[in-house]
Structure 1
């Protein structure tokens, strides 16, 4: 029990050590600041609870998270489905690869005016912007994961009569799942960025809209509280994703831990 407590304490120390150092450095570096655009961290932290009340969280944070969830979910479904098809068939991959390379090179923020022409200025536009950026890391990682499925495992499954949906579920997607989750992890940070960018265009609520309004009104400490809130949301989403990934890929992490112990 004491060994487990020491391990937990060490892990906690490693997690909080660097953030604590950075916050302390920010605190002391800005302590005597008189710059309007660089207020002391003490002022920002004091302003935070006054700005982000329960009502503002309902009006701005919840709509932003709903858009992020919808866009990210659409990208995950489309990316895994298309990536599985493209990765499974060589001819399909040969036809699609030049187009995919072209489209993924286009920065998603550039597409905002184009998407606004077709989807309007409502939530549909914002969800489409998020999905258009999140889909690429998921799609490309799924393609590579499906291509890397062990041929011996695939032939063994076929010889035992494991075909169709069963083969797709238990062989292809299971083998590709570590890379699929790697793409999902990359897409989550991209989605958070695009969520803010999309809300800076023709929006009436959301975190991006509110931060821009603070900046335009020269409410600089309030603007900084919005940036801090975005960082906290990113951290929480990362922790939640890691928990889901650890549970979904328990077999994979177990194999890795076992191989480390044996070596």
Structure 2
């Protein structure tokens, strides 16, 4: 319990200090562009702790979650196939380097032409723009397997599924999760961008519409919602990562002691 309280205190002291400084520093603000934090929080509570949470936040969270999961699955599966096959890697490398160099927001016009305005377009933009870190990290993780381990799997005549699920995936897991972490951040960015340019609901639409209507407190409130979404999603991801990679941390600590 003491360790938990200490960790929570270390995590929260700076955000709390910043919020207190913002609260008291902006208390008497008359600026149109920087209203008092009290006004922003009132707007936040009014807009996002009621019906708008259901009409805008939940759809955005759902599209973000689906897009992130699909990008992760596509990245891991293709990464495994490419990493295990030298000729497939050589054949697809030019295409991978070409498409990964395209800025993700540039995918929006193409996605709009193909899917139109809607959920499918939002999810497709996330998958197409956020898949690359997971894909590339999976490829490198699979190719980084110790040759002696690979030889051992052949000596023990492991089946294809045993090689994949008991050797390759565990060995590449640290790099895969490093790629998934970047994919997570890109997914949050892309759901906001896609909703700003082609959507009639969602957090991104709310922020852009508030800015165009010159509703400054609402713009700040929407920005806070986006920050909270990113923070909570990252916190959940870290918990899953620690759970899945607990064996890796134990092995690393044991190696250090030796």
Task: Please classify the TM superposition score into its range, dividing by the shorter chain length.
Answer: over 0.9
For 1:22 and 1:158, the matched residues in 2 are separated by 57
* 1:70-122 deviation line (CA, Å, top 9, x unaligned): 21121111111111111111222122222211211111101101110011111
Separation of aligned partners in 2, 1:56 and 1:257: 47
TM-score by length of 2: 0.95
Gaps of 5+ in 2: none
Matched, 1:114 2:110: yes
Rounded Cα–Cα distance in structure 2 between residues aligned with 1:43 and 1:108? 35
1:73 alignment counterpart: 69
Q: Structure 1's 223 and 193: CA in aligned 2 closer, same or farther, altered over 3 A?
A: same
Q: Which residue of 2 aligns with 1:158?
A: 154
SS of residue paired to 2:65: helix
CA apart distance, 1:182: 0.8
Aligned ranges for residues 177-192 of structure 1 at < 5 Å?
A: 177-192=173-188
Deviates more, 1:28-37 or 1:238-247: 28-37
Determine the C-alpha separation between the residues in 1 that align with 2:20 and 2:152: 57
- Return 162-171 or 5-14, whichever deviates more: 5-14
Render the CA deviation track for 1:116-149: whole Å, top value 9, x for unaligned.
0011111111111111111001101101101111
1:170 to 163, 166, 170: 166
What's the RMSD between the two structures over aligned residues? 1.4
SS in structure 1 opposite 2:142?
A: helix
Moved over 6 A (4+): none
Kindly indicate whether the alpha-carbon contact (under 8 Å) linking 2:83 and 2:138 is maintained by their aligned counterparts in 1: yes
Aligned equivalent of 1:11: 7
Q: Tell me how far 1:27 sits from its aligned partner.
A: 2.7
Q: Figure out how many residues of one structure are paired with residues of the other and give that number.
A: 258
1:54 and 2:77 matched: no
Q: Which residue of structure 2 lines up, in the alignment, with residue 202 of structure 1?
A: 198
Q: Does the CA contact (< 8 Å) of 2:47 and 2:53 recur in 1?
A: no
